[in-house]
Structures are given as C-alpha cells and as structure tokens.
Amino acid sequence: MSLDLVIVDYGMGNLRSVQKALESIGHNAMISSDPKHLGSAQALILPGVGAFGDGMQNIFSRELHQPILDHLKAEKPLLGICLGMQLLFETGYEDGEQKGLGWLGGDVVRFSPMPGIKIPHMGWNQVRYANSETQFGNVLDQSYYYFVHAYHVRPTDLEVVATRTEHGIPFVSSVRKGKVLATQFHPEKSQKPGVELLRYFVEGIAGLKKNCPGKYGKLGDF
C-alpha cells in the first residue's frame, strides 16, 4: 500500500473507519505504528478516541512523537481527528495537567456543567466557518458533523480557528495552520460533509491523486 498517506496507529482511534471512508472516495491509506512509515509519508492522519494523557503516553511509548513533529516541522500535510486534534496542543487537563505535542499554542479543557447541556457532547451538530477562507472545499457553511467529546481546545492564536460550534458555549470545532487541518468532530462518521472534508484534505491540501476505484464521486453521490 502507498506511503503517500499514512493513518497513525497509536492504539487509540477509529482507524479502519477512517481508512474505509478514504477508500470510498478513491484513496488508499496505510495504517501504521512504524516510525519509518510515518517519516516517509507525504501526508499523515492522526485520529483518536480516548483520554489525552493515554494518547500521549502511547505516542511516546511507540516512539511516534518525533516522526510526527518532524512531519509538522517539514510543513507536510496532517489531518487531526478528535483526540488527534487535541494532542496537537500544548496542554491537556484530563486527569491532571498533561503535556501535548505542542505544535499549536493553547490548551484542552472540559466543558463546564450547564443546565440542559449534556457532557460529553455527543451526536450531530452544526459547524460554522470562522470566515470564507476556512471553507472545506465544497462543504456548505452550517453543515452537520458527528461529535463525541467532553473536552474542547482553546487556541491562543485565534488566526488558526477554522470553525466554531455551539454546545452551551461557542467552542472551536476545527483549526487550520498551513497544511495542518484538525477537527474535533469525526469526518469518517459524518456522511456527505465528512467524506467531502476528507477529499478536501487529501486532494486539496495534500495534493494526492486517487489510487483506487472508490465508491463516491461527488458530494451528492454519497
């Protein structure tokens, strides 16, 4: 399988779901925990489900932190999903203060309890673009994506904010910095807008061409 696109396996994530979603739009991706594969990849996808501290511990124990940071420093494309987005930040506060990869300034905090607001935030919710320059290819503003999380990011640099979503408070639901795009929601579980976002990352940001038949052509074909 091609090393153009590698899904990082650090033991926490819907790896096969992401891989299948990519295949549906004509892109094969390797799932790998081999640092050499990460170092050779043209683009990385860092998915994740679970606790911030556990995620960082797994990344370090598998010696994946340096290949990921080297990839980012080389300004290569990376897509972070859910926990994979959170780990790009400096600090997480799940089960105490935890150090992240530190690629983006800011922290990751739990939603504060509010009347009528369920934690974790789970299910479909609208995503609003921060401005016209943050649009995900052909995906319309206020499209719905699937969320499962109790913590949200607080970037220190508001220029990286791509979208916001309401859950009791307006929170940052995705960020963009150069060729790095990261989402709190799960595009692989978000039907048409989700696969179109994946297409935007792989073809628009990473510049990769299709390498398998795929199942869906345009957004409306899902």
Catalytic residue ranges: 82, 186, 188
Residue 126: count other Cβ atoms within 10 Å of its Cβ: 14
End-to-end CA gap in the chain: 25
d(CA 116, CA 130): 26
Beta strands in the chain (DSSP E): 5-8, 30-32, 43-46, 78-81, 89-92, 98-99, 104-110, 121-129, 143-149, 151-155, 161-167, 169-177, 180-183
Task: With H, G, I as helix, E, B as strand and everything else as coil, classify residue 188.
Answer: helix
